[in-house]
Amino acid sequence: MIKAVVGANWGDEGKGKITDMLAQEADIVVRFQGGANAGHTIVNKYGKFALHTLPSGVFYDHITSVIGNGVALNIPILFDEIKNLTDRNVPMPKILISDRAQIVMPYHILLDAYEEERLAGKSYGSTKSGIAPFYSDKYAKIGFQVSELFDEDTLREKVAKVTAMKNVLLEHLYHKPLIDEKELLDTLHTYRDMVAPYVGDVSTFLYEANKAGKTILLEGQLGTLKDPDHGIYPMVTSSSTLAAYGAIGAGIPPYEIKQVITVCKAYSSAVGAGAFVSEIFGDEADELRRRGGDGGEYGATTGRPRRMGWFDCVASKYGCRLQGTTDVAFTVLDVLGYLDEIPVCTAYDIDGEITTDFPVTYKLEKAKPVIEKLPGWKCDIRGIKKYEDLPENCRKYIEFVEDHIGFKITMVSNGPSRDDIIYR
Ligand code: GDP
């Protein structure tokens, strides 16, 4: 049985917690896209962890953690993350890295930062993890596949070719230090020795595991609105954030993804630039940011304060639809307990026209939120285990959202840890 856990919005919906929770009953957790540019926060018996590259199943002995071919693999970051876990008494996870995954090169990270610097005020708000240059090179067919680390002739030839190309940009566009071919080759040899024990054929492994009846979780990064095709282009990430891409980024048949659990947060947050219709500012935003998530809404990778907003039914309905949602996990609901009234964005007003359909970017920039207010429940709902035990106004809020997005909320998360979950 293959299930995907993905985000409906801009990311940071709480996918890490839901994946960690579902991993209890799974055998394999697979990352299928993205890189170390975003993070999942997980709270468990070992402490609080921010994961960037490792799948959110690494805390269980019984899980095999897989880095799929669709991932932008930053090898030093992966190994730092593993060390950070084992230093804090987490048993060494079982890891399998796809021989078809590609490698984030040191120059991808530099070029990402140089490009943001060059664009100055017009930048994309990149985390400077090298993700956009990485995927550009992958599709320009000058990326380095993990398998190529083990073929010395190909490696040398490619390093020479790519160094020559990149140095033109570094010299003439960015006016920065050039890449040294020998140094780059040495770095790649180091990478090869680091990954060697973990590399394998992921699609065959998953095929066999699925045939043997294992439970496989595909863990998405970011959310629908950051998808390069269906998101708020160009303020998007460079790999698809949709469950459908799980088939490609892990190498499995699309029809084997039987369940798509789309994670939706009870309010909105976003990082980076781009239209954010239900955004709030000032004290109202500060308070939600401070109370949000588990210890505030600050980026797991960058520590940047997140932009805050009320729940957006238009964006979430669209986000769930594009994911092919079978189940919605509605998270961080406990945080809203302080509000007398809870504003919700139910439609967009675009030049006087009211719509509940999520538009293309230039129209989105003009959209104003249509806000409805629901009564708050004014109490702490953490610790509640049964849906009927939630305060009436809290249930009304959940049911209101469900009606507006049109997808069934089957899980409600009322706290950061594994057990803070209410099944419906
Ligand atoms: P991800 O990238 O989608 O995994 O999202 P984040 O790592 O940004 O997770 C959001 C934050 O909310 C993390 O700090 C989680 O520990 C926390 N979190 C997840 N679910 C809940 C919840 O139901 N209630 C509270 N209060 N915090 C939660």
Along the 424 residues of the chain, how does pLDDT read in single tens digits? 999 999 999 999 999 899 989 999 999 999 999 998 777 777 888 888 888 899 988 999 999 999 999 999 999 999 999 999 999 999 999 999 999 999 999 999 999 999 988 888 777 667 788 999 999 999 999 999 999 999 999 999 999 999 999 999 999 999 999 999 999 999 999 999 999 999 999 999 999 999 999 999 999 999 999 999 999 999 999 999 999 999 999 999 999 999 999 999 999 999 888 999 999 999 999 999 999 988 899 876 677 899 999 999 999 999 999 999 999 999 999 999 999 999 999 999 999 999 999 999 999 999 999 999 999 999 999 999 999 999 999 999 999 999 999 999 999 999 998 899 999 9
Q: Which residues contact 173 (CB under 8 A, 6 or more apart)?
A: 118
Q: Same structural domain for residues 157 and 66?
A: no
Cα separation, 212 vs 203, in Å, equals: 14
Query: Looking at the structure, do residues 45 and 28 belong to the same domain, yes or no?
Result: yes
Ligand 1: nearest atom to the Cα of 38: 2
User: Does some domain include residue 94?
Assistant: no
Q: Is 220 in the pocket of ligand 1 (CB under 6 A)?
A: no
C-beta atoms surrounding 267 within 10 Å: 24
- Please tell me the total count of domains within the chain: 2
Judge if the upstream peptide bond of residue 359 is cis by omega within 30 degrees of 0: no
| 197, 231, 266 - which closes a domain | 197
Q: How far apart are CA 99 and CA 86, in angstroms?
A: 24
Active-site residue among 12, 20, 112, 294?
12
Q: With a 6 A CB cut-off, is 293 part of the ligand 1 pocket?
A: yes
For residues 378 and 244, membership in a common domain is answered with yes
Q: How far is the CA of 150 from the centre of ligand 1 (A)?
A: 39
Known catalytic membership, residue 419 = no
Catalytic residue list contains 40: yes
Distances (CA, A) of 28 to 54, 60, 334, 390: 12, 10, 30, 33
CB neighbours of 63 closer than 8 A, spacing ≥ 6? 23, 26, 27, 28, 29, 55, 57, 93, 94
**Domain span including residue 232:** 2-86+203-423
Residues 77, 182, single domain; the answer is: no
Catalytic hit among 20, 27, 40, 404: 40
Residue that terminates a domain, selected from 144, 162, 197? 197
**Measured from the CA of 420, which atom of ligand 1 is nearest?**
23
Question: Is 190 in the same domain as 144?
Answer: yes
Which among 17, 43, 334 is the best mutation to test ligand 1's pocket, defined by most ligand atoms within 8 Å of the CB? 17
What is the pairing mode between strands 64-67 and 94-98? parallel
Which pTM was predicted? 0.94
Of the residues 140, 166, 197, which one is the last residue of a structural domain?
197
Inside any domain, residue 92: no
Residue 226 in any domain: the answer is yes
382, 417 Cβ separation under 8 angstroms: no
- Say if residue 217 is in the same domain as residue 350: yes
Residue 248 shares a structural domain with residue 233: yes
The predicted structure's pLDDT at residue 44: 83
